[in-house]
Each structure stands twice: as C-alpha cells, then as structure tokens.
Structure 1
Amino acid sequence: MDSNLDALALLGLGISSFILVTGCANMVLMTALWVLYMSLVNVGQIWYSFGWESQLLETGFLGIFLCPLWTLSQLPRKTPTSRIVLWGFRWLIFRIMLGAGLIKIRGDQCWRDLTCMDFHYETQPVPNPMAYFLHRSPWWVHRFETLSNHFLELVVPFFIFLGRRMCILHGALQILFQVVLIISGNLSFLNWLTIVPSIACFDDATLGFLFPSGPGSLKDRVLKMQKEEAREARPTPTYGCMVRQAANLALGVLVAWLSIPVVLNLLSPKQVMNSSFNPLRIVNTYGAFGSITRERTEVILQGTASPNASAPDAVWEDYEFKCKPGDLRRRPCLISPYHHRLDWLMWFAAFQTYEQHEWVIHLAGRLLANDAEVLSLLAFNPFADKAPPRWVRGEHYRYKFSRPGGLHAADGKWWIRKRIGPYFPPLSLRNLKGYFRSREWPYPAPE
C-alpha cells in the first residue's frame, strides 16, 4: 500500500513539475493530476479529512477547462479562456468567502460580539511567531480585525456581480486578506489555494503590467495573435476546439446543477461547512472557524522505560512534534504552505477525548514499538537508539502564550503550561493487543 501511495505522489509531482517548468498544460495532464489527488483523498481517511482537500479538488477540476484539449504550448492558439470557466472560479471564491462568513455569524457568539480575535491567535491550530505578538494587540485592534473579517467575508463577495471595477476590487481585497492570514498563522496551503480563484476577478488589462512588453515577449505575441485572428473572417474550428467548447458548456450545466444543494446550504440556518454533496467533490461547501476555542489545550505524549508505570521514580519523557506546541522554549514554527497533518489532528484531539479519536491510541501503540515510519512524523523521539518505551501515556495541558518582555519570556519561554490531568492512561503493548484486534489494526511489532 505504501509503495502504491508513493507512486501516486511521485507521478503527480512529476506531472506538476513538468507543467511548472515548461508552462505548458492540457486537459489530459490536468485531468491526470485531479484523478491522482482524488485517489489520495479517497483512501486517506482522516489524514485527508481537511476542508481544503475538497477545495483543491474543485479548483483543480476547474483548472482542467482552462487548458486546450491536446496542445502543449505556453501560448496555445484558438483556445481563449471560456467565460464559463472564469465565472466558475468566481463562483468558487464567492462561496468560499460567503460560506466562511455565514458560518461565523451563525456559529460562535464571539463572532457576533466581536471578541473572537481575543483568542484566535493563541488557540489556532498551529500558531506562528507573528501570532505570538499579534495576540497581545490592544482590544480595539482585535475588534477592528473581527469587523474587517465580517466585511471581507459577508459584503465584499457580492462585489463580483457589480461590474468590472468592483470585481477587480474584490479580487485585490481577497488576495490581500489571504496574505494577512498567511502572515498571521500556519493554515497549511489553504490561504495560498484561496488566492487562485481570486485571480479570475482580474482581466488582461489589469494584469498586463506583470508581463514584459518588448518585441518577442509574451504580451507582444498575444497582441499579434489577436490581430491575426481578427483578420480571419470565420476561422475554421478545429476538432479540439469543438470538443473544448462542448466540454465548457457541459461544465457550466454541471456546476449549476451541483450548486443547488450548496446554495440551499448557504441559506439554511443549519449550515454545514467543508462538506460535499457529490462523491467527486466538484462543487462543495466551505467555511472556517465557525467556533473559536477560548483556551488552548495540548496532548503531550510521554514514554517511560520503567517496568512499573505508576512507580514514583518512573521517568516520563516527552515526544516532540514537528510544529505543534510542546517544549515551552521552542519558538512557534513557520511552515505555511506546508501541512504537518499529524500536528493538526493532535489539535483537534486535544479539545475532545481519545474515545472520539481512537487513532491516538493507534499512534501510542506505534510509539511503543518505536515504529520508524511514525517516528519520522515527529521532531524528537526520547527513545532513539534505545529500547522502545515500556509504557506510553497522554497528558493533557493548558497552554498560554508567555507575555513578550515578561518573566517567562526573559527565561526563553514562548509558552506557559499547566497540567489539566491525564488524557489517556499509561498503555503497554500487552494492554493494546485486544484493542488493536477488535479494530482489525495490524499489531505493532517492536523494532
């Protein structure tokens, strides 16, 4: 299974690298990329359960129709971008932003009383260094941030339908908004991905300054091509062009049909976010941070070599994840657009119970076996080059940012923590044998 997944990923990397380096793509290559990622999402289970997986699939599906059928050229002739596809991208960014705004207003009270940003920077999934300082902004800054968020997500999306200038303004504001979010948090590739459909709000005249205009330049070649096509009375359509036009028309009908339940969901007081109403995830619902946690809790996994887990002299050592808070002196990481999926899943697990996240116990079992593949997802293994731990437990802590310039910060601590209690009790491989068997999980063998 692992080799098959690696093969899918490598094939996708190869195709996308070719497109990136050459600047050439066609519908065949883009469809291949979409199918490959759809395959990974479908088999990825909880590992690929994030909302932006569907957003990437929908964006990629629309991207198929930006390209010629067969031609591989940086500037393919007779294949202008269809207005249907452009409006498909605009419809996507409209739903992303409006869905995010509505789920907030209908969700947590703090979005309505403008206090959510008092907590967000500290309690977001994986804070970055900038969040550490933004968290201490004055109260009026946080109120302004929340109001700005509502304006950008609930009002600005409608600019798309108010003519060229307002559509361009919408695109500029949304891209600026995503850049601010990138700076203030590690939200994976979500914000980078959201910039893509926003580009469809601009026309050639607006984006022309980004391209050189000298003789032989891309802009010069486009102008020559447009003049040649204007001189042709009735250009003879090629087979590929006719197929592409038919595909674009079919796309418009398909998106309109699949948008019906999505629009009904947006209008519903029981709105759901980050869901799909079709198995291919072509048109989806979106939303983010419908509720904000007021306190940050973390699950700290610990292991001990002591034969008796309850012995007073048992020495428990912490495992460190690659990005999520753990070591109080470790600076918050800066990883966007990279996505440490395990760190994110641990964030979800921390404000629920291990019974609701059984995979945490599976993770503990693999740690008890010193499983190399699982340990590669961590930053520090206290039992490296040693015998595996005899026991692993989960401890529940409440984390808070230290105050910049305060005593804890002067001691090199970015975080302050206080123990809440056990998250799950000490476990050994022997304890877990029945647990693994009942769930038909492979029983980990110590390495």
Structure 2
Amino acid sequence: MDAHLDNIALLGLVVSAFIVITGCANMIMMGMMWLLYHSVVSVGQVWVGVSATGDRIPGNLPVPRVWSLARVPARTPPSGIVIWAHRWLIFRIMLGAGLIKIRGDKCWRDLTCMNYHYETQPVPNPLAYYMHRNPVWFHQTETMVNHFIELILPFCIFMGRRMCMVNGALQTLFQVLLILSGNLSFLNWLTIVPSIACFDDASLSFLFSAKDGSVKHQVSKIQSQTSTGERPTRSYGSYVRQVLHVSLGVLIAYLSVPVVLNLVNSRQVMNASFNPLRIVNTYGAFGSVTKERTEVILQGTSSPDPNDPAAVWEEYEFNCKPGNVTRRPCVISPYHYRLDWLMWFAAFQTYEQNEWLLHLAGKLLANDPTATSLLDFNPFQEKGPPRWIRGEHFRYKFTRIWGTHASEGKWWIRKRIAPYFPPVNLQGLKKYFQSRSWPLPSAPTNHE
C-alpha cells in the first residue's frame, strides 16, 4: 500500500511539474491529476480528509485543449462556461464559509471569535503569537471584515466587470492574510486559484509580453477578430471542445442544486459532497471556534510499573503542534502535517472518538519507523522502545509578549488538566488491535 500511494503521489507531482514548467496542459492531463487525487482521498479517508482537503478537489478544469499539448494559444478564447464555473466555485466557497459562521458559533455574531482564533487555530505560526495580543477593538474589526469578505463581497461577481475584479482582488488579499497568520496547509493557496477567474485578459495583460507570437499578441488578435465580427475557422477539435464545455456547464448546474439547497438551509452542513465524484461540493471553515487551547501530550516510560511515582515519563515531540513550551511556533504553509492536525481535533474530543490514537500508541511502543518518522523527537530512538505510553491533557496559552515568561524564552504556558488515556502497553493493546483487524506491532525483545 505504501508503494502504491508513493507512486500515485509521484505521478501527480511529475504531471503537475510538467504543466507548471512547460505551460502545456490538456484535459487528459488535468483529468489524470483529478483522478489521482480523488483516489488518494478515497483511500485515505479521515487521514486525507482533514480540514476539508478531501472535498476541495478541483472539479472545474480550465484547460485549453482536449489532447493537444502545443504551447501556442488556442485560436478560440477560453469558454465562458469554464470561467463562470470558477467564479461559481469561489462564490460558494466564500459564502458557505460566511454562512456557517453566522449560523454556528455565537462569537461570530457578537464579534469576539478573533479574540481566540490565533491562539486556538490548528497550528499557530509566529505571527499568530503577536496577532493574538492585539486589542479587542482590533479583533472586532477583523471579525466584521471577515463577514464582509465572506457574506457580501461574493455577490460582486454578478455585478459587472469592475466589481467582479474588485471581488477577485480582495478575495486574493484575504487569502494572503490568512496564509501569513496561520499554518492552514494549502487550503488558502488553492482558494486563490478560482479568484483569478474574476479578472479578464485586459486587466492581466501587463503580466505578458506584447511581441509577435506571445500570449498577449494572440489574445489581442482574437479580441480584434471578435470586435470586427470575424470568426476564426473552426476545426473538428474545437467543436468537440465546445460540446465538452456545454456538457460541463450542464453537469455543474445539475450538481449545484443540492449545494444551493444546503446554503439556504438553516441546518447547513460544512465541507460535504453530494455526489460520489465530489465534483461540486459545499464548503465552510471555523463554524465554531474553541475558546481554550488544549493539547494531547504523548509520554512514554521504560519503568516496568506505570503507577510507580518514581517512573520517569518522557515526551514525544511532534513536528509542528505545540508541545515544548520553549519551542518557537513553526512556519510550514502550504505544507501540511496531517498528524499534527488530527492531534488538534483529538484534543477537544476523547480517545474513544479517535481510535487511531491508540493505533499510533501501539506503533510507538514498538518504535515503528513509519510512525516515528511523523514525529520531530522520539525520546526512545536510541535506548529502545518504551514499556508504556500514556496521553496527558494540557491547557495551553500564549505567553505575554512583554511578560516574565517571554523573557524566559517561553512561547507557551501550560497546565495539566487530566489524563487523556491511561498507560497502555503492547500486551494490553493486543485484543484491541485484534478486534479491529489491525496487525499488532512486533513486541520489543528487551521488554519481554
């Protein structure tokens, strides 16, 4: 399975790199990337579906040709159907995110959510540390701007060329600000892409050369032919492409019906698909905001008795999520540490709701190299696997920028809440693994 997943990822990387470097694309290549990603999402389930990445698969493919890879621009302009499909995508992404907030957490309505967001978001970055300390009025202003961007601005798409471009520019700026203030994986980067469809050729022409044979020259030629009523000679392929575009438009309109019904429903669901191919989905983000940050800290010990007061418990350190209070918050966007995100979800749930956590504990009890490769620090890497592993629940808060804790080099202060899951060993997990048809990790010989 690992080899298959690696090959799928590598193939997608090669195809996408080819498109970016050469500027060549067709429906076959774009469809292949969609199919590869859709396959990984289906197999990965919860692991890949974290933070709605599984539902944010691009179903609208803005490609110039069916099979040709020539770099010379097509003789016909891009289909309006494809352009509007992308505008419809950014419209429902932003409106869905805004509606789920208004209908969800009360703090979005009383303008207090941003008081907590920077501290409690999945994986804070260093800027979030400083943004959290802004005054209350600043956070209230942020919340009102958020509502304007997500609830009102999307309708500018339907108000003519200039307002559509205003929407595209502000939506792009909004996503850039989100990228700077948090590690929200590649979601914000992806959301910028459909915003580009809000601009037309004239507004983006300054980005391209005007010499003969260039993209800008070809576009100007097409616009000139259009203004004079001259129609370019159509090939058989252009008719096929037109049929495909019309079919795509009809399909998107049909699949949008449950999405629209969901948007107007007071019981709106967030980040969901209404068709098995996930071509047209519904989106949303941070429908509720946690007011306190809690973390699950995994600890291991080599002591034969986990209840011995003298037992020394050592902590595992994850790549990015808060753990060691002196470690500076990381910057990883657009990369995505999925395990760190899952630990964030687990912290405000129970371990019974996150069975994978005990599966991870079993792997760590055997020092499984695949599991330990997902961590930044394994205290038992050199001295052999632990005998026991437990989960401890802590409350985390940012230190004050000019306070005592900051002068000590601490970014966080934490306080233990309670045990998250009791000490477990491989023998105790045996029946648990067998009941779920999980292979039991090999027991370490030095602890038998």
Q: TM-score with structure 1 length normalisation?
A: 0.96
2:149 pairs with 1:152: yes
Shift of 1:188: 0.5
Question: In structure 1, how many angstroms separate the alpha carbons of the residues matched to 2:342 and 2:14?
Answer: 28
Q: Which residue of 1 aligns with 2:29?
A: 29
Amino acid at match of 1:28: I
Aligned length: 444
2:300 pairs with 1:303: yes
Classify the secondary structure of the residue corresponding to 1:291: coil
Question: In structure 2, how many angstroms separate the alpha carbons of the residues matched to 1:118 and 1:96?
Answer: 24
Q: 1:151 to 1:88 in 2, by over 3 A?
A: same
2:217 pairs with 1:220: yes
Shift of 1:223: 2.9
Q: Which residue of 1 aligns with 2:400?
A: 403
**Are the counterparts in 2 of residues 68 and 76 from structure 1 also a CA contact under 8 Å?**
no
2:40 pairs with 1:72: no
Q: Which residue of 2 aligns with 1:391?
A: 388
1:188 to 177, 181, 185: 185
Q: Which runs of 5+ in 1 are unaligned?
A: none
Q: How does 1:11-410 map to 2 (within 5 A)?
A: 11-57=11-57, 59=58, 61-63=59-61, 65-214=62-211, 217-224=214-221, 234-410=231-407
Question: In structure 2, how many angstroms separate the alpha carbons of the residues matched to 1:54 and 1:421?
Answer: 33
**Are the counterparts in 1 of residues 55 and 273 from structure 2 also a CA contact under 8 Å?**
no
Question: In structure 1, how many angstroms separate the alpha carbons of the residues matched to 2:51 and 2:385?
Answer: 36
Per-residue Cα deviation, 1:149-170 (whole angstroms, up to 9, x for no partner): 0011110011011111110000
Taking every aligned residue pair, what percent have the same amino acid on both sides?
65
Shift of 1:49: 1.5
Q: Which is further off, 248-257 or 219-228? A: 219-228
Per-residue Cα deviation, 1:242-271 (whole angstroms, up to 9, x for no partner): 111111101111111111111000000000
Q: 1:6 to 1:298 in 2, by over 3 A?
A: same
Q: TM-score with structure 2 length normalisation?
A: 0.96
Greater than 6 Å deviation, 4+ residue runs = 228-232
Q: Which runs of 5+ in 2 are unaligned?
A: none
Question: In structure 2, how many angstroms separate the alpha carbons of the residues matched to 1:84 and 1:54?
Answer: 25
**Are the counterparts in 2 of residues 78 and 241 from structure 1 also a CA contact under 8 Å?**
no
**Are the counterparts in 2 of residues 212 and 218 from structure 1 also a CA contact under 8 Å?**
yes
**Are the counterparts in 1 of residues 299 and 391 from structure 2 also a CA contact under 8 Å?**
yes
Question: In structure 2, how many angstroms separate the alpha carbons of the residues matched to 1:274 and 1:5?
Answer: 24
CA RMSD of aligned residues (A): 1.6
Shift of 1:235: 3.7
Shift of 1:241: 1.2
Q: 1:181 to 1:259 in 2, by over 3 A?
A: same
**Are the counterparts in 2 of residues 54 and 284 from structure 1 also a CA contact under 8 Å?**
no
Shift of 1:74: 2.6
**Are the counterparts in 1 of residues 325 and 411 from structure 2 also a CA contact under 8 Å?**
yes
**Are the counterparts in 2 of residues 328 and 413 from structure 1 also a CA contact under 8 Å?**
yes
Classify the secondary structure of the residue corresponding to 1:253: helix
**Are the counterparts in 2 of residues 70 and 240 from structure 1 also a CA contact under 8 Å?**
no
Classify the secondary structure of the residue corresponding to 1:443: coil
Q: Which is further off, 290-299 or 214-223? A: 214-223
